[in-house]
Amino acid sequence: MLLRLLSLFFYFFFISVTGSAIQRHVDIVEANEGIDGLIEGDIRLTDKQLRELNNADGNRVKRQITTFKDHIWPGGVVYYFYDDAFSQEKRTLMKSAMELISSRTCIKFVESKTEKNVVRIFDENGSCSSHIGYIGEGEQKIWLGDNCQVIGTFVHEMMHTLGIYHTHIRYDRDDYVTVNLTGLPENLKKNFNKQTPEMTINAVPYEYGSVMHYSTNLFAPRTILAKQYGYQNTMGLSIVSFYDMVNINTLYSCGCAVHLDCKNGGYTNPSNCGQCYCPYGYAGKLCDEAPPGAILYTATANWTIQNIKFGYDDGSRTNTFLMSYAWISAPADKQIEVQIRQLDVVMCAEGCPYNGVELKVNEDPRITNPVYCCNADLMGEIVKSKQNPTPIVMFQRVGKSGVTIGYRYVDKPASPATTPTTTTTTAKPPTQPPTTTEPPCETTTPSTTTTKATPAPAPSTQSSTTKSPGQTPTQPPTQPTTTTTTKSTPPPAASTESPTTKPPTQPTTTTTTKSTLPPAPTTRVPTTEEPETTCQCTEECHSTTTETETCQCTTSTEETFETEECEKEAGTIHIGDECQDSCI
């Protein structure tokens, strides 16, 4: 509830800044409120599927309505047509969504009214919903109302049509999220039933940042709680992730006869076999280059502070995302440390539906890292990156925002005795926060770092970070960031080196502004010491065995919701049939 109120506050703040309103983000479940016949908030069932559902034993839904082998579109070709009343604006957005998918997979979308098995795309009661997979019984539908007009929602429903299910009902989901059904009506609990291995395959790792993952407040506040540190607001993104497209390619056995030597987690693009398909933050034929327009920084042994502006100079408002990038490089024998110090004019909301910042520090460059759009989530962490260079990904739908970062390099840790293994889909994610160090100390000697960025022209909707269509990660046009001149009080001997910018394909203007660096965060920085915990109880509840309470517990390292059953004074809550822990 608090995040929704904050979202509304910043929504109206953006109206005052930009002079007019963008469409307020409405999540899929909210858009479909009051519409009957849906499961998981947005999946429509055929009459046959409804009969199977009604014949299920007890209250448990039989999820084996179809298996992954049964609902694939023949040849990967999806025939579709628009209802006459479907607006031109929505047709344009749907075309962008289809191009986003087809430029990264072997899926083809063909407009036709004469095919027997065809998808009708139309608007009814503002609904955002779809059938699941290929039905093969004539016309099937995608419902896309006014509340769905964000590219991520259009892609979400089209992925259902292709046969992709929600992430939160994977059979391994309990390793990654806690599902809290406390107080949820019985008729809604079926929406959280897990799949079985016989029904689907987990073709990719559990992806908090998938466009198929609902946000934390599904049907009720805090029903889905991320077990992995920092990912609470990453769930529910409207950005289409790299692994979303990998999921489709695996399901439809997309591939190329010749495989390129792609770097940084990329692989040969089934839509263009002469080009690699790259994760966010990487570009080039082999994914070994910075995206066009990216700002290039070089780390030193001293802390450097930069303020990066990203978004639209003219206050534009869109239903797609403008992608911007920065690259931090260091010598090969060094490790990069990076810290987000401040977010400016960024709308705080679950799922970061308007704008956000991601540091690509994970060992797997393909997976989504924690995405930040709330200053309260920063906590002053200094993260040791496992990527060199370390990309910074910024996305924006309205106006212009900013992020202040600090970075340096340190010596790499000694190599372990054993060779590390690659993370698999069955590996349980870490429950501890990233490795951190103390924040950089500020001095009273100011220095000025001047940085310039030359924007690159926005490419077509098929390519956001490369010169070739179908290569880029997953979003429409890429536009470079603008790095401002920062007058600051950085750490001792902070680097004054000016970063360079990857040359654009054609010249555009450069914007240089001034900003004052806020002081570095000095509180709530994770440490290795055992913190003291104090609890303030906020809500009373009862169980059949003991009286308990829900308490928000503040420690010196983070805010947590303790979830062990105990006496009232301990401030805990009993969830479901067992006690579970979760960091928010």
489-535 pLDDT tens trace:
444 433 334 444 444 433 333 333 333 333 343 333 333 333 333 33
What pLDDT is recorded for position 438? 39
- The residue whose two tokens read 């963008």 is 22
- Nearest by Cα to 486 from 466, 512, 463: 512
The question of whether 540 is a catalytic residue gets the answer: no
pLDDT at 385 over 70: yes
- Nearest by Cα to 508 from 474, 472, 481, 535: 481
What pLDDT is recorded for position 163? 92
Q: Is 160 within any annotated ligand binding site?
A: yes
Residues contacting 369, CB < 8 A, separation 6+: 209, 234, 358, 359, 360, 361, 362
DSSP type of residue 367? S
Please tell me the least confidently modeled range out of 273-282, 293-302, 316-325, 410-419. Answer: 410-419
pLDDT at 354 over 80: yes
Where in the chain are all domains bearing CATH 3.40.390?
2-167
| Catalytic, out of 40, 157, 381, 558 | 157
> Is-contact 486 306, C-beta < 8 A?
yes
What pLDDT is recorded for position 253? 95
Mean pLDDT for 195-212 is: 88
**Would you place residue 93 in the very low, low, confident or very high pLDDT band (cuts 50, 70, 90)?**
very high
What pLDDT is recorded for position 34? 58
Where in the chain are all domains bearing CATH 2.60.120.290?
290-412+430-516
What pLDDT is recorded for position 55? 59
Mean pLDDT for 231-235 is: 94
Side by side, the strands of the sheet bearing 390-398 are 371-372, 355-359, 390-398, 317-329, 295-298, 500-501
Q: What percentage of the chain reaches a pLDDT higher than 70?
A: 61
User: 290-412+430-516: which CATH topology?
Assistant: Jelly Rolls (2.60.120)
Mean pLDDT for 475-485 is: 45
Structure tokens at 200: 């689907």
Query: Cα–Cα distance between 144 and 154 in angstroms, integer?
Result: 7
- Nearest by Cα to 78 from 124, 123, 140: 140
Side by side, the strands of the sheet bearing 38-39 are 38-39, 43-44, 128-131, 140-144, 119-122, 77-82, 108-111
User: Which comes out higher in pLDDT, residue 561 or 170?
Assistant: 170
**Would you place residue 435 in the very low, low, confident or very high pLDDT band (cuts 50, 70, 90)?**
very low
Mean pLDDT for 54-78 is: 63
What pLDDT is recorded for position 41? 81
Query: Cα–Cα distance between 77 and 106 in angstroms, integer?
Result: 9
Query: Cα–Cα distance between 109 and 73 in angstroms, integer?
Result: 11
Query: Cα–Cα distance between 406 and 307 in angstroms, integer?
Result: 9
pLDDT at 556 over 90: no
What pLDDT is recorded for position 413? 87
What DSSP line would sit under 58-110, residue for residue?
TT----TTS-TTTSPPGGGEEEEEE-TTS-HHHHHHHHHHHHHHHTTSS-EEE
What pLDDT is recorded for position 469? 34
Q: Is 542 within any annotated ligand binding site?
A: no
Mean pLDDT for 467-477 is: 38
Residues contacting 441, CB < 8 A, separation 6+: 491, 492
Collapsed DSSP state (helix, strand, coil) of residue 389: coil
User: 2-167: which CATH topology?
Assistant: Collagenase (Catalytic Domain) (3.40.390)
